[in-house]
Structure 1
Amino acid sequence: MNITELAEGVIAGDRRMLARAITLVESRRKDHRRDAAELLGLLAASGRQALRIGLSGTPGVGKSTFIESFGMMLTGQGLRVAVLAVDPSSARSGGSILGDKTRMDRLSRAPGAFIRPSPSQSQLGGVARRTRDAVTVCEAAGFDVVLIETVGVGQSETMVAQMSDIFLLLLAPAGGDELQGVKRGIMEIADMILINKADGELKSAAQRTCADYAGALRLLRKRPQDPEGYPRALTVSAMEERGLNEVWDQIGRLVEWRRANGHWDRTRRQQATSWFHDEVRVGVLARLDEDPQIQAAMTDLAEQVGRGTLAVSAAAERILDRLRRGG
């Protein structure tokens, strides 16, 4: 398909064109990468922006249930919502289940919603290799909110914060020593900690957990992009759809404050710069895979390292020297 026609279809809101565009930007084929770069350039010219909300959480915390309930609330208010859900890929086969559309049955049928599951392809950071490009495509398609769901939670899952405006961390109550259950690093980048499943027998436990995290957040160093009282901890029940309006209200207040104080634009510029540096690094690594002479040298050096006759750092320096000399 003509790339210009594809871009025009995406900007016009054609869902089939949107799906084809995301498939193109996620492709690893060399010819597709060239087409994807052209497409992204055309889409960037639209100047459209969406509110990017990253969401992470421990397995079983109810991320899909929360996203469905939250997304239904937003579409009920007339907003268009895109969900980019990343499923973990098998380290053995490379396959992914991609079952988010099944888990979000109501939202997948909502007229104002679009759900796109993608494999992580063993990419660290909790997001797929091309999730950032998929966000750009969804923004150009005119979505008001883009929800980015990561594969899990941990020190390596913080990459989603580098492509989102608001980062939500979902936790479950009564999980033992809650404050030890999440690393400090991810707490420091979270804009809100949401204690899910605050219903039934777990309601009181959720309130206690929320109070624990609220106290812990007050001990963290204040960030310049936050007004007084942020980040904060809240209780929600995705199953009973309680607390969702408060979460949306708090997100709106935080976004408004950041826009008014220049943090929104500054963060967007920093993110774009970070993406650029990442693309350069990936391009350098791609050269290692594409150059047969470098691959042969790496195989030989790897054997020496494995036998213990060559230090790892020395072997790596030899490859870097070849790159500096242009092969």
Structure 2
Amino acid sequence: MCKEVNRRNRLPVDDYVQGVLKRNRAIFAQTITLVESNSSADMETAQAVLKQLHPYTGKSIRIGITGVPGVGKSTFIEGFGSLLCERGHRVAVLAIDPSSTITRGSILGDKTRMENLSKNPNAFIRPSASGGMLGGVARKTRETIFVCEAAGFDVILVETVGVGQSEVTVRSMVDFFLLLQITGAGDELQGMKKGVMELVDAILINKADGVNKQKALIAQSEYNGILHYLQPATKGWETKAYTCSSLTGEGLDEVWSMIQLFHKKTNESGVFSKRRQKQNLDWLHYMVEDYLRMNFYTHPKVTKVLPQIEQAVTEGTLSATMAANELVRNRNQ
């Protein structure tokens, strides 16, 4: 049994590649697990797989979706994703789950919250624990996007946890960024929402049904008034507010038409390709920084002295700056 599990988890590179390209769901899922792994052996294999898959990537539209907890992101994604599948699209949902900063545990419950979409043969939902990383965004999300594109998914939905700085990171890996809001959630110009409004390409007021419909229309007008004074996140595109009901499906058609118009206009102007190029360069620099960080902290000389230096900083007998210099000095000896 152990040999079978090991054999299944350690396929040859070509088997992963062909499995993804032939849309074998089992191998496709194993490939994403491989890409997400932090094992050095898995990372080496993953890079070999990604190198062969690279010519088949880049043909999707990548949509980031954010909003505070309770705004209805999962319900919206299920309704929106189902609509796209009905129209012949293949939709991959990468849902970044928050990890506890204490236990590192994660709920990973997005499949249960998107039950109908998860059963659709043209959809794939991948909950991924953030591991407590910056803004709750998993480090391997970009590479997972590439695997999904190589498998023929033409719409990629990346859901953020809606807290911290995750919006900035997701903005750096998607083409179109959508902010979900609801009415009656307090001052629209307070805290996180004000900052994220400058990053998004559209604001969507969710739950615009029943007694909330009129309130949603009023909120839409207010948001459009605010957006008029903000610099658009994408050159040549006017960020506007829209309404929808994920429950009834009203407005979801308009959302997709708006995203298609965005895609058409930015492609014609060259903004779309320039954004992708910049994102690739940003990713290059991030990966270099990530490699240097990992290489530094796993170096034997650093791991040997790190506990004592951390204790000295904690006790206040050594400043953080002096401690950093000491670690670098030990690393370079």
User: What's the TM-score, normalizing by structure 2?
Assistant: 0.93
| Aligned position for 2:120 | 110
Q: Which amino acid aligns with 1:102?
A: T
Give matches, 1:132-151, under 5 Å: 132-151=142-161
Unaligned 5+ runs, structure 1? none
Match among 89, 96, 119 for residue 79 of structure 1 = 89
Q: Which amino acid aligns with 1:208?
A: I
RMSD of aligned residue pairs (Cα, Å)? 1.5
State the SS of the aligned residue for 1:86: strand
In 2 relative to 1, CA 100–290 (structure 1 residues): closer, same or farther, beyond 3 Å? same
1:247 CA drift (Å): 0.7
| Aligned position for 2:254 | 246
Stretch deviating more after TM superposition (290-299 or 32-41): 290-299
State the SS of the aligned residue for 1:49: coil
Aligned sequence identity (%): 44
Partners of 2:319 and 2:191 in 1: how far apart?
A: 37
Any conservation in 1 of the 2:183–2:216 contact (CA below 8 Å)?
A: yes
1:79 CA drift (Å): 0.6
Pairing 1:260–2:259 present: no
Any conservation in 1 of the 2:198–2:232 contact (CA below 8 Å)?
A: no
User: What's the TM-score, normalizing by structure 1?
Assistant: 0.94
Partners of 1:15 and 1:311 in 2: how far apart?
A: 52
In 2 relative to 1, CA 321–156 (structure 1 residues): closer, same or farther, beyond 3 Å? farther
1:143 CA drift (Å): 0.7
| Aligned position for 2:7 | none
Partners of 1:224 and 1:118 in 2: how far apart?
A: 28
Partners of 1:224 and 1:106 in 2: how far apart?
A: 33
Any conservation in 1 of the 2:60–2:155 contact (CA below 8 Å)?
A: yes
1:253 CA drift (Å): 0.8
Give matches, 1:1-327, under 5 Å: 1-180=11-190, 182-223=192-233, 225-227=235-237, 230-323=238-331, 325=332
Any conservation in 2 of the 1:50–1:143 contact (CA below 8 Å)?
A: yes
1:16 CA drift (Å): 1.0
Partners of 1:140 and 1:218 in 2: how far apart?
A: 39
Partners of 2:185 and 2:216 in 1: how far apart?
A: 10
Q: Which amino acid aligns with 1:196?
A: N
1:223 CA drift (Å): 4.9
Stretch deviating more after TM superposition (306-315 or 16-25): 306-315
Partners of 1:47 and 1:154 in 2: how far apart?
A: 30
1:42 CA drift (Å): 0.8
Any conservation in 2 of the 1:10–1:18 contact (CA below 8 Å)?
A: yes
Partners of 1:224 and 1:83 in 2: how far apart?
A: 23
Partners of 1:224 and 1:271 in 2: how far apart?
A: 14
Any conservation in 2 of the 1:155–1:183 contact (CA below 8 Å)?
A: no
Q: Which amino acid aligns with 1:287?
A: N
Q: Which amino acid aligns with 2:275?
A: T
Q: Which amino acid aligns with 1:260?
A: E
1:319 CA drift (Å): 2.4
Partners of 1:309 and 1:149 in 2: how far apart?
A: 43
Partners of 1:262 and 1:318 in 2: how far apart?
A: 48
State the SS of the aligned residue for 1:305: helix
| CA offsets 1:3-34 (integer angstroms, 9 cap, x no match) | 11211110111111110100000011110010
State the SS of the aligned residue for 1:170: strand
Unaligned 5+ runs, structure 2? 1-10
| CA offsets 1:64-109 (integer angstroms, 9 cap, x no match) | 0000000011011011111111111122222212111111111111
Any conservation in 2 of the 1:126–1:159 contact (CA below 8 Å)?
A: no
1:242 CA drift (Å): 0.7
Partners of 2:64 and 2:233 in 1: how far apart?
A: 18
In 2 relative to 1, CA 107–47 (structure 1 residues): closer, same or farther, beyond 3 Å? closer
Instruction: Work out the number of aligned pairs and report it.
Output: 323
Any conservation in 2 of the 1:56–1:63 contact (CA below 8 Å)?
A: yes
Partners of 2:244 and 2:296 in 1: how far apart?
A: 47
Any conservation in 2 of the 1:85–1:116 contact (CA below 8 Å)?
A: yes
1:175 CA drift (Å): 1.1
